Amino acid sequence: MDRNSDVTKSVTDQNLRNTLDKLIKNNFSKRVYITPNIPEKQLRNAIASMAIPEGSNVLALVDDSFTRSGKAGICVDSDGIYWKKYGVKRSVKFDSVKQFDMKLGFLINFKINGQEISLDHFSKEEIQPFADFLLDILGFGQVPVGAAEKKDVQAQFESLIESLEKSKYHWCSGTIEKLGKLGDERAVVPIIKVLEEGSIGDRKSAAIALGRIGGEKARDALIKCLDSGGDGEVLISVCFALGQIGGRRAKEALNRARKKLENDLIGKRNIFGFLEPSVKDAAENNYRKAQKRADD
């Protein structure tokens, strides 16, 4: 298809290979391109604009250019990360990354070794799979498994649950996101409470967290929320979470949604002037993604 059509076969590092497969499975953004499906034009522009060495095995391209030309955004090859925003281009090899942080909310920001990368054309849900990809390949997304570390994880879990209870399940998006990353199924019940009773922002975070944790209870709560309707932003997050979990019942719920929901947000523009995605689009995209998961 393009000059990187065989790159996925040439990736020999197993961790990188597995992480790339995970991104391919979870990505639904039309601005995130993954080999072997990176358009030739955008690939050429990214290589030239971000000063990527010729012959590099480009694995993923996050196109944040206004015209979708590939001239701005983030590129990942088999050795490191390249980015360009507002005319400034930078790069870093994987083994040189000492610090990595990100903020995924109303504004999308990554920080690598103190250098900030902001993205203007993505929602939190759209960029989340790529963010998880970066966490994994940089080694910041792995949960420690040693005995001492497990005690630390347990203490962290208990502290987060206590914080959630003190907040009375409101204004707790940060806590919810951390619980989702821990992946402990004991957090599902309190997170469901936020999904049902919280503010719009909290409910969006709760849906994403439930998708991360997975399991029957999480899936059933998400299906109930989607079938009940309500705020479009929350339902888009719910669709994304169900796509993450997959399985027969998730597919059935997403199929119902894509057939019956109107494009309630199509034509509506946000403060930056960009069209908002629709619930129906989210249901459609994640229905296809859920099909890749094993039936329950």
More confidently predicted of 7 and 29: 29
Say if residue 60's pLDDT is above 70. yes
Q: With 0-12 CB in 10 A as exposed, 13-18 as middle and 19+ as buried, what is 71?
A: middle
Residues pairing with 62 in the sheet: 32, 74
What is the average per-residue pLDDT within 90-117? 87
> Alpha helix locations (H) across 169-247?
173-182, 188-197, 200-213, 216-228, 232-245
Q: pLDDT class for 145, splitting at 50, 70, 90?
A: very low
Q: pLDDT class for 17, splitting at 50, 70, 90?
A: confident
Q: How far apart are CA 83 and CA 74, in angstroms?
A: 4
Contact in structure between 70 and 90 (CB atoms under 8 Å)? no
Q: Is 214 helix (H, G, I), strand (E, B) or coil?
A: coil
Say if residue 221's pLDDT is above 60. yes
Domain residue ranges in the chain: 7-138, 147-291
Q: Which of 71-80, 171-180, 264-273, 276-285 has the lowest mean pLDDT?
A: 264-273
Whole-number average pLDDT of the chain = 81
Q: How far apart are CA 220 and CA 277, in angstroms?
A: 24
Contact in structure between 33 and 42 (CB atoms under 8 Å)? yes
Please, what CATH class does the domain formed by 147-291 belong to?
mainly alpha
For residue 146, what pLDDT is reported? Answer: 47
Q: Read off the pTM.
A: 0.53
